[in-house]
């Protein structure tokens, strides 16, 4: 059993492996804060697209990541629209904009830039250590991303690497979009996922991989409830 007060649970894995769904449910069950670090990379990407910054201009993207004020908060009373958290960039609510296909297609370019990673990892580490210190209002944090267990918080008490076949991950994303009433093309989603996997795992800085001491959970044929049960078993083992 891991120490639960305070606790840091790190969940990494490829696109659409279920990290957010599972991490959110796990955090709710344990009474921890849920922090999806991907939203920070998505937020910088959205603002860069909005300001027509060239995706090949690493310096400009790095400057943007340092200058922009990102706030991630639990959803308020007035925004109960299925969101897990509210994302503000310089005060503007961009919670749903960061889920657009255009952001999906460009986020791996932005997250491969050293200055962007440095700026965002620093903020993520600070938040993680605050909740993992026992001094925050909640006793722990579940952080999900690509490099939490390897780079951002290698001292996390529990490290999980969630995986699933690309076909299954594309199906999940497709269903999710359909449920939100969005147009979705399964083939296109599959191709985007394969491309993002490649970009995230082949980049030089903090590439996507399981930490040596992470527990790998293949969720391809598991329901979300079964995955949460598996993780709770690891927490209380």
Binding site for ligand C5P (CB under 6 A): 15, 37-38, 41-42, 107-108, 111, 145-148, 196, 200
Q: Hey, how many other C-beta atoms are within 10 angstroms of the C-beta on 136? A: 16
Nearer to ligand C5P, 30 or 121 (CB): 121
Does residue 206 come out as left (phi exceeding 0), alpha (psi in the -120 to 50 range) or beta? left
Rounded least distance, CB 173 to ligand C5P, Å? 10
Rounded least distance, CB 147 to ligand C5P, Å? 5
Nearer to ligand C5P, 147 or 168 (CB): 147
Rounded least distance, CB 131 to ligand C5P, Å? 16
* Chain CA centroid to CA 128, Å: 13
Pairing of strands 215-218, 158-163: parallel
Nearer to ligand C5P, 4 or 130 (CB): 130
Quick one: tokens of 237? 């083992």
Rounded least distance, CB 108 to ligand C5P, Å? 4
Rounded least distance, CB 202 to ligand C5P, Å? 11
What burial letters (b/e) apply to 93-115, b meaning 16+ CB within 10 Å? ebbebbbbeebbbbbbbbbbbeb
Query: What's the distance, Cα to Cα, between the start and end of the chain in Å?
Result: 5
Residue with tokens 């986020």: 107
Nearer to ligand C5P, 4 or 176 (CB): 176
Nearer to ligand C5P, 31 or 74 (CB): 74
CA gap 162, 72 in Å, rounded: 23
């Amino acid at each position: 059993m891991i120490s639960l007060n305070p606790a840091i649970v790190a969940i990494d894995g490829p696109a659409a492996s279920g990290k957010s769904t599972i991490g959110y449910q796990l955090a709710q069950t344990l009474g921890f804060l849920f922090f999806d670090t991907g939203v920070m990379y998505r937020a910088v990407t959205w603002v860069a697209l909005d300001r027509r910054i060239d995706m090949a201009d690493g310096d400009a993207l790095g400057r943007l990541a340092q200058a922009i004020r990102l706030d991630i908060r639990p959803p308020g009373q007035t925004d109960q629209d299925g969101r897990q958290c509210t994302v503000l960039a310089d005060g503007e609510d961009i919670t749903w904009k960061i889920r657009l296909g255009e952001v999906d297609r460009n986020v791996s370019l932005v997250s491969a830039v050293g200055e962007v990673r440095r700026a965002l990892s620093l903020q993520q580490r600070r938040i993680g250590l605050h909740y993992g210190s026992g001094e925050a209002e909640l006793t722990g944090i579940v952080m999900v991303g690509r490099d939490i267990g390897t780079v951002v918080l290698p001292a996390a008490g529990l490290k999980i690497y969630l995986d699933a076949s690309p076909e299954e991950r594309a199906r999940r994303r497709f269903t999710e979009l359909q449920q939100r009433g969005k147009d979705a093309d399964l083939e296109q989603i599959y191709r985007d996922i394969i491309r993002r996997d490649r970009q995230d795992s082949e980049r030089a800085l903090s590439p996507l991989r399981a930490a040596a001491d992470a527990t790998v959970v293949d969720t391809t044929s598991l329901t979300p409830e079964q995955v949460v049960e598996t993780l709770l078993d690891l927490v209380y083992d």
